[in-house]
Structure 1
Amino acid sequence: MNDKNKQIDIKDVTGAVRSHRPTDEGHIYVRAQKGQWQRLRKLMGWFFMLLFVVGPWLSWDGRQAILLDIEHQRFHIFGSTIWPQDLTLLALLFMVAAFGLFFITTFLGRVWCGYLCPQTVWTFLFIWFEEKLEGSANKRRQLDKSPWSFNKLWRKTAKHLAWLTVSLFTGFTFIAYFVPAAELGLGLLTFSASFWPAFWVLFFAFCTYGNAGWMRTIMCTHMCPYSRFQSAMFDKDTYTVSYDSERGEKRGPRSRKADPGQLGLGDCIDCDMCVQVCPAGIDIRDGLQYECINCGACVDACDQTMERMGYAKGLISYTTEHKLRHKETHVARPKLIGYGVVMALMLAAFVYMASSIMPMGIEVIRDRNQLYRETTEGLVENTYTLKIINKTLEQETYQLRVEGMDDLEWIGPSEVTVQAGEVLSLPISLSADPYLLSSPVGDITFVMSRKGANPDDRKASLQTESKFFSSAR
């Protein structure tokens, strides 16, 4: 199959039919809509919003379960602590998410935007406050056009106070993933929080208020890069919200009892409901548009209209270009399989690396001032600083030794206790009789073992290489 057959055809519909896009100075008055897809969207939105809100308050072994502690350069995720040395995991996680998004987009279009994107979830939440405080879409339009009065003042004030409250709570919750939630909450309530945490709470509150309250679809159409490049992943087998023009045209109003065939009309009664419920304010009947976020509001609105008219549902539906042309839809196609395979490989690599994270770490730093020194006893001595990291949530005791050269003497503690999450700097020295050394430079291995651990536990000990110098090279 050549590339021409894989791409969705672009149709010029300019002037073909009357467009119903909103023209009220660019403001979109979204009409409330119910239906199966809106119930699913709300259920998923509330579920993941609940996870977002509850996340910072979960506790694990007396510590905040999810804390991305940038200040101390460590991420606590339930029982695991991820240090800068383990940030390869973060890169892999982003790659899994990226290919997962590519896979879903190729298969189901922009369902991420319509059902899970925070911009969409918060936008619909803000619209809900509009409906409760200012009324339906038509009432909101009339209220905006009416002169200022007490009724308009209190409704507008209540709406913006509600928006600001949600925005402040959102900003606080987001920052609570980076600063301990209890500490941040107490600091904000008592006005004792330090400058930067308070600044970032207000900053993200301002962003939420602006994005969900004022900018809305501007974020999706002009600032989000996903809306621009997602079309590159679409093909004729991608499920998108589409209008069946073959069935719907020619549009026109009619009574319920009228036979559209005798009137020379299609099933579309030109009720404009699909446009009124669209959060992006587009007319899906104009064809596939990058503003469409696949939320399914127009599908529910059209299905309800078709049901009232006694017509079959599905005039607007989640369908493919091939299906609209009465051709077979190919789900298992090379591009989709490719995205899935890469995503699975990345996920497997992530799981492997996550399971291989050591609960401890050791770094050896040689004395930078001199390679070695001679003691008064005539011995050769090398100085090292051991950086010992306890990545667990409990106090641990480690035993230290050196391997690779039999004639070395350890000078310093060979057993240390490190608190949970602590980085301990331990200076030690190794000495040897130069007459017993066979080479001026020897390879040595520092071994750190967790005291009392099972010898068969592969995570019970850790090794790192270094050098022992007995003369200048």
Structure 2
Amino acid sequence: MSDPDLIDVQEIAPAEVAELDLYQKREKIYTRKIEGFYQRLRVFTGWPMLLGYYCIPWISVDGRQAVWFDLPEREFHIFGLTFWPQDFSLLAFLLIIAAFSLFAITVSAGRVWCGYTCPQTVWTSIFMWVEQKVEGTRNQRIKLDKKPWSLNKATRKVTKHGAWLFIAFMTGMTFVGYFYPVRELTYELATLSTGSWQLAWTVFFTLATYINAGWMREQVCKYMCPYARFQSVMFDRDTLIVSYDAARGDPRGSRKKSLDHREAGLGDCIDCDLCVQVCPTGIDIRDGLQYECIGCALCVDACNSVMRKMGYEPGLVRYTSERELEGGKTHWLRPRIIGYIVMLCLMVGVFSYSIVSRIPLELTVMRDRNNLYVETADGGVENIYRLHIVNMDTSPHQYELSVKGLDGAVIKGDTSYALAASDDREVTLRVKVSASKLSVPSTSFVFEIVARDMPSLRASTDSRFMKPL
């Protein structure tokens, strides 16, 4: 039995074919430009993300690129903090938080992530804006594509694709700039002196952006993105989605503005198809909720503009829930939402504590297993240890090594180490203990290392000391 609280997502096959062919030729979608509240809202969603993406690599913190994933050195610099492969658990934790956040947003507000902040949507919107500026309005673009090739058509096409490639190149270069110093990369690309892998990855991400945002567009959302397929599992009757109010809009039909459509037996929908013309995925929202819908609300702004011109109340197509369309009231605080909020608060709290309490110092110890122990002439016993000290801080420190929990232990070797920022060192040393002080064959003790200039910067690890049976 199906869950009565879940809503169905429609899969509408094209009217001209009896069966949907996944390998059929793509039909180009000519979107119409529209203005409205939700499109102005994109200024506060897409543009900050774009500016952040392009500008962050150029920001410096303490003389270093603010965000730089230095793979050869296995260091990940993020706004003054340096992370190492040992901190990958924090990355996994962050990805889990992001996933839960996406689930919580989807349950409450549908696919607003896809409609406003998804990179595919943002970059596609930029490419569509360029297309509209160069080739004109929707009708002008349709006519231009139908015309035979001419100098004017070739000029417009070359200009459009040149602008697309420039944006794609800047995107690809910026992405590589997160893994290779962006200032060096820009200079090397400008002087054609860059390395082969930097050039290869820049070309790859340039082509990926150009193809995805310029050519594939809605195909990425419909067939490549898995989110479109499993979104219906998270929707329920209280989820806020873009919907057409069929009870108010049907029966549809064109009419004059002066006509009393209620007396004529017509609904508010004038069947202008403007909601279809502005849709970036080419669907008709009046057919019901479909997995292709990315919740961008272009159809909402389009329909509202028509309703205002006709003198009708806006909201024929709007953000609403299935329960509200049926005459009920949307339940905002429901068990799933509360559960997600509680889990997110707990996870964000634990993650924040892990970052704040993180100690940028690591000490690992391995006892030499080839020689379990060495007996000395003065009645002592020595064990050999290999230590790996990693200063994960962004400042240099002088460290002092000691042992605890092993009575009479003496370190035979250097116990003071100066490490530069993001430096590591491997040392081999001996620990000597008088045999008379060892009561058991294996004794547990602790190696501890402390920064002289910052006593709070310390790390310790357990080890064992062996003596003859």
- The answer, yes or no, to whether TM exceeds 0.5 is yes
Which residues of structure 1 form unaligned runs of 5+? 17-22
Residue 5 of structure 2 corresponds to which residue in structure 1? 6
Instruction: Supply the AA of the counterpart residue of 1:82.
Output: F
1:123 corresponds to which letter in structure 2?
Answer: T
What's the TM-score once normalised by structure 2's chain length? 0.94
In the TM superposition, 1:40-439 aligns within 5 A as 40-375=41-376, 379-439=380-440
1:435: how far off? Answer: 3.5
Name the CA distance, whole Å, in 2 between partners of 1:15 and 1:193: 48
1:159-188, Cα deviation, whole Å (9 max, x unpaired): 111111111110111111111212222222
The separation in 2 between residues aligned to 1:171 and 1:305, in whole angstroms, is 40
Note the alpha carbon deviations across 1:77-100, whole angstroms, 9 max, x for none.
112111122211111101110010
User: What whole-Å deviation, never above 9, does each CA across 1:89-124 have from its counterpart, x for those lacking one?
Assistant: 111101110010000001100000000000000001
Q: How far, CA to CA, are the matches of 2:79 and 2:70 in structure 1? A: 13
Matched letter for residue 45 of structure 1: G
**For residues 244-299 of structure 1, what are the alpha-carbon distances to aligned partners after superposition, in whole Å with 9 as ceiling and x for unaligned?**
01110111111110110122110001111101111011100011001001111010
CA distance in 2, matches of 1:133, 1:10: 37
Number of aligned positions between the proteins: 461
Q: 1:13 to 1:384 in 2, by over 3 A?
A: closer
- Identity of aligned pairs, percent? 47
Query: Is 2:445 aligned against 1:469?
Result: no
> Which segment drifts farther, 426-435 or 243-252?
426-435
Output the CA distance in 2 between the equivalents of 1:51 and 1:416. Answer: 40
CA distance in 1, matches of 2:372, 2:305: 82
Which residue is equivalent to 1:30?
A: 31
Q: Distance in 2 between matches of 1:469 and 1:374?
A: 11
Shift in alpha-carbon separation, 1:322–1:424, aligned structure 2, 3 A: same
- Please give the per-residue CA displacement for 1:294-322, whole angstroms capped at 9, x wherever unaligned: 11101001001000000000000001111
Distance 1:441 1:452 in 2: 35
The aligned amino acid for 2:149 is W
Given that 2:11 and 2:290 are in contact with CA atoms closer than 8 Å, whether structure 1 keeps it comes out as no
Contact 1:105 1:234 survives alignment (8 Å): yes
Report SS of the residue matched to 1:448: strand
SS of residue paired to 1:406:
coil
CA distance in 1, matches of 2:76, 2:284: 45
Measured in 2, the distance between the counterparts of 1:195 and 1:14 equals 46
Partner Cα separation in structure 2 for residue 24 and residue 467 of structure 1: 69
Q: Is the partner of 2:465 in helix, strand or coil? A: strand
Judge conservation of contact 2:397–2:453 (CA < 8 Å) in 1.
no
Matched position secondary structure for 1:28: coil
CA–CA distance in structure 1, aligned partners of residues 339 and 13 of structure 2? 37
Question: In 2, distance between residues paired with 1:321 and 1:242?
Answer: 8
User: What displacement does 1:384 show?
Assistant: 1.4
Q: CA deviation at 1:412?
A: 1.3
Asked whether the equivalents of residues 99 and 340 of structure 1 are also in contact (C-alpha less than 8 Å), the reply is no
Look up the equivalent residue of 2:139 and give its one-letter code: N
**Separation in 2, partners of 1:255, 1:24:** 39
- 1:213-268 C-alpha deviation (Å, 9 max, x unpaired): 01111100101000000111101101101000111011111111011012211000
Give me the whole-angstrom Cα distance separating, in 1, the residues matched to 2:353 and 2:249. 52
Q: Distance in 1 between matches of 2:194 and 2:461?
A: 42
Structure 2's unaligned 5+ residue stretches are: 16-23
Deviation by residue 1:312-368 (Cα, 9 ceiling, x = unmatched):
000000011111111011010111112222222221221121112112111112224
Q: Say which SS state the counterpart of residue 4 (structure 2) adopts.
A: helix
Separation in structure 1 between the aligned mates of residue 67 and residue 145 of structure 2, nearest angstrom: 43
Is the Cα contact below 8 Å between 1:382 and 1:431 reproduced in 2? yes
Residue type of the partner of 1:462?
A
Q: Give distance in 2, aligned partners of 1:14 and 1:406.
A: 80
Distance 2:444 2:312 in 1: 82
State the one-letter code of the partner of 2:6: Q
Q: Deviations over 1:44-96 (max 9, x none)?
A: 11111101111111111111111122222221111211112221111110111
* TM-score using structure 1 length: 0.93
Q: Does the Cα contact within 8 Å between 1:366 and 1:384 map onto a contact in 2?
A: yes
**109-118 or 170-179, which moves further after superposition?**
170-179
Which residue of structure 1 aligns with residue 18 of structure 2? Answer: none
Contact conserved, 1:103 with 1:339, CA < 8 A, in 2?
yes
Please give the alpha-carbon distance, in whole angstroms, between the structure 2 residues aligned to 1:10 and 1:44.
27
Cα–Cα, structure 1 residues 332 and 355, in superposed 2: closer, same or farther, change >3 Å? same
Amino acid at match of 1:350: F
Alpha carbons 1:441, 1:471 under 8 Å: kept: no
